[in-house]
Amino acid sequence: MNIPKSKNPRVVIIGGGFGGISLVKSLKNKPIQIVLIDKHNYHTFQPLLYQVSTSGLEPDSIAYPLRKIFKNYRDFHFRMASVEAILAETKEINTSIGIISYDYLVIASGSKTNFFGNLDIEQNSMPMKTVPQALNIRSLVLENFEKAVVCEDANQRKSLMSFVIAGAGPTGVELAGALAEFKNGIIKKDYPNLNAQEMTIHLIEGESRVLPPMSLFASKKAERFLKKMGVAIHLNTFVKNYDGKTVTTNSNLCFETETFIWSAGVTGAAVQGLAVESFTERGNKYRVDSFNKVIGYEAIYAIGDIAQMKTETYPKGHPMLAQPAIQQGKNLGKNLLLILKNKQPNQFSYIDKGSMATIGRNKAVADYKKLHFGGFFAWFLWMFVHLWFLVGFRNRIVTFFNWTYNYINFDQAARLIIRPYIKKK
Task: For strands 246-249 and 254-256, give the pairing.
Answer: antiparallel
Smallest separation, CB 122 to its own copies (Å): 20
One of 13, 32, 126, 142 touching its own copies (CB under 8 A):
142
What does residue 414 show for φ and ψ, rounded to 5 degrees? -90, 55
Site for its own copies in 223-282 (CB under 8 A): none
Interface with its own copies includes 407 (CB under 8 A)? no
Nearest to 304 by CA among 331, 344, 278: 331
One of 91, 240, 361, 415 touching its own copies (CB under 8 A):
415
Count of Cβ atoms closer than 10 Å to residue 171 Cβ: 24
One of 25, 28, 30, 79 touching its own copies (CB under 8 A):
79
What does residue 22 show for φ and ψ, rounded to 5 degrees? -65, -40
Smallest separation, CB 104 to its own copies (Å): 21
Q: Which is nearer to its own copies, 1 or 337 (CB)?
A: 1
Q: Judged by CB under 8 A, how many residues of this single chain contact its own copies?
A: 51
Interface with its own copies includes 419 (CB under 8 A)? yes
Distance from the Cα of residue 284 to its chain's centroid:
17
Nearest to 238 by CA among 223, 247, 255, 250: 250
Stretch that binds its own copies, among 64-72, 83-91, 211-219, 342-350 (CB under 8 A): 64-72
Smallest separation, CB 397 to its own copies (Å): 6
Q: Which is nearer to its own copies, 79 or 220 (CB)?
A: 79
Interface with its own copies includes 416 (CB under 8 A)? yes
Smallest separation, CB 145 to its own copies (Å): 9
Strand arrangement, sheet containing 239-242: 239-242, 246-249, 254-256
One of 227, 418, 423, 424 touching its own copies (CB under 8 A):
418
Q: Which is nearer to its own copies, 179 or 365 (CB)?
A: 179
Interface with its own copies includes 289 (CB under 8 A)? no
Tell me the residue type at 162.
Answer: S
Say how far apart CA 256 and CA 262 lie, in whole Å: 15
Interface with its own copies includes 29 (CB under 8 A)? no
For the purposes of burial, counting CB atoms within 10 Å of the CB of 72, is it exposed (0-12), middle (13-18) or buried (19 or more)? exposed
Task: For strands 286-287 and 307-308, give the pairing.
Answer: parallel
What are the Cα distances from residue 222, in Å, to 48, 168, 180, 214, 366? 18, 10, 13, 10, 10
Q: Which is nearer to its own copies, 147 or 330 (CB)?
A: 147
Interface with its own copies includes 4 (CB under 8 A)? yes
String of contacts with its own copies for each residue 164-193, x by CB under 8 A: -------------------------xxxxx
The torsion defined by the Cα of 259, 264, 267 and 269, in degrees rounded to 10, comes to 20
Say how far apart CA 18 and CA 386 lie, in whole Å: 13
Stretch that binds its own copies, among 27-35, 263-271, 310-318, 396-404 (CB under 8 A): 396-404
Interface with its own copies includes 152 (CB under 8 A)? yes
Interface with its own copies includes 414 (CB under 8 A)? yes
Contact 38, 110 (CB under 8 A): no
Smallest separation, CB 150 to its own copies (Å): 5
Interface with its own copies includes 401 (CB under 8 A)? yes
Stretch that binds its own copies, among 35-43, 175-183, 239-247, 310-318 (CB under 8 A): 35-43
Smallest separation, CB 230 to its own copies (Å): 21
Interface with its own copies includes 154 (CB under 8 A)? no
Task: For strands 10-14 and 33-38, give the pairing.
Answer: parallel
One of 25, 30, 60, 353 touching its own copies (CB under 8 A):
60
One of 16, 50, 77, 328 touching its own copies (CB under 8 A):
77
One of 85, 338, 371, 397 touching its own copies (CB under 8 A):
397
Smallest separation, CB 152 to its own copies (Å): 6
What does residue 55 show for φ and ψ, rounded to 5 degrees? 70, 15
Which residues of the chain form contacts with its own copies (CB under 8 A)?
Answer: 1-4, 40-42, 58-60, 63, 65, 67-68, 71, 76-77, 79-81, 97-98, 131-132, 135, 142-143, 146, 149-150, 152, 189-193, 392-394, 397-398, 401-402, 405, 413-419
